Structure 1
Amino acid sequence: MNTETTPAPDFGLSLDQCWVLLDTEVVGRIALIIDGHPEIFPVNFVLDRRSIVFRTAGGSKLWAAMTAKPVAFEIDGYDSHEQAAWSVVARGEVQLIESQEEKEAVDARLLEPWQPGDKDFYVRLAPKALTGRRFKVIKPDLWSTRLADPRRASFE
């Protein structure tokens, strides 16, 4: 059997594994429906009490928090040592954090905006669904794989 063309096994991640991976990252993408269209925004975030928290200015992300529309949040990565890719997706509704005590607790986790400007609104996503997967990647064809492909470092 030719292992180069056989699909790599896909391993579902447990809830705990998903939370561990979320805790290793600082930037994710939040997906919102705005005016009937999907929009995706990068956000830096922290975990607080089994929820994902980010800060924002007024605008689309804040609007989503105030209208209680469903959102998705995603992170992914590649482990060159294990030659495996992974992805974690959280789904649910976001809410505005209004309590100063909760804001201070999040600030203590070092949630500092990356983009300049006022990011005075704190938004919390307490996932109703949290899923993840990990899979081995196939060996790249070094002649036709882009130089920026992180798999190249594993096999060169």
Structure 2
Amino acid sequence: MTTETTPLPDQTPADDRLSIDECWELLDREVVGRLALIVDGHPEIFPVNFVLERRSIVFRTAGGTKLWGAMTSKPAAFEIDGYDAREQRAWSVVARGEAQLMESQAEKEAADARLLEPWQPGDKNFYVRLAPKALTGRRFTVTRPDLWNTRLADPRRASFE
């Protein structure tokens, strides 16, 4: 028996959706994001430091699972999120597209000029570009921490206390 489901419409209020330009601005402020790929038939998530170069997300990696997954997983996704304690608002940006290995030395140098350097030791000789075909984001007010039993490490507590 198969059951068809109708996808739920986007229930994010229009005023909480981020514009494409706002998404790019938030991406440009961050240095670490999460790359989501399908590897050997299951989802994998890799934290990567990155730069923006020509309206695309660029990171360096060594040969291995992440590189192989980036080259074979179609499509790929990339996500960043954050919290503004002053405004008590959180945000999230998701880019979806295909990852491509950068071959051109000029493109690699352009990424390096944006200060793309690996955080983890070791050779990270492969440059990968994710040019988003879809870029979405949202911003939302977070629930006050006094309404729940909030952990001491929760960043919302600092803005409330």
| TM-score normalised to structure 2 length | 0.88
Structure 1 position 143, deviation (Å): 7.4
Alignment of 1:97-136 (within 5 A): 97-136=102-141
Distance in 2 of aligned mates of 1:34 and 1:69: 10
**Residue 142 of structure 1 contacts residue 152 of structure 1 at CA under 8 Å; is this kept in 2?**
no
Structure 1 position 61, deviation (Å): 1.9
Distance in 1 of aligned mates of 2:71 and 2:33: 20
The answer to whether residue 113 in structure 2 is matched with residue 144 in structure 1 is no
**Residue 37 of structure 2 contacts residue 43 of structure 2 at CA under 8 Å; is this kept in 1?**
yes
Partner AA of 1:119 in structure 2: K
What number of residue pairs does the alignment pair up? 149
Which stretch has the larger CA shift, 134-143 or 24-33?
134-143
Structure 1 position 142, deviation (Å): 7.4
**Residue 77 of structure 2 contacts residue 96 of structure 2 at CA under 8 Å; is this kept in 1?**
yes
**Residue 37 of structure 2 contacts residue 70 of structure 2 at CA under 8 Å; is this kept in 1?**
no
Distance in 2 of aligned mates of 1:13 and 1:91: 15
Structure 1 position 65, deviation (Å): 3.2
Q: Which runs of 5+ in 1 are unaligned?
A: 1-7
The answer to whether residue 76 in structure 2 is matched with residue 58 in structure 1 is no
CA RMSD after TM alignment: 1.6
Distance in 2 of aligned mates of 1:65 and 1:137: 33
Other-structure match for 2:9: none
Structure 1 position 41, deviation (Å): 0.5
| TM-score normalised to structure 1 length | 0.91
Alignment of 1:1-156 (within 5 A): 11-67=16-72, 69-141=74-146, 144-156=149-161
Distance in 1 of aligned mates of 2:100 and 2:137: 23
User: Residues 143 and 124 from structure 1, CA distance in 2 versus in 1: closer, same or farther, beyond 3 angstroms?
Assistant: closer
**Residue 39 of structure 2 contacts residue 73 of structure 2 at CA under 8 Å; is this kept in 1?**
no
Structure 1 position 100, deviation (Å): 0.5
Distance in 2 of aligned mates of 1:67 and 1:144: 43
Partner AA of 1:136 in structure 2: T
Distance in 2 of aligned mates of 1:148 and 1:142: 16
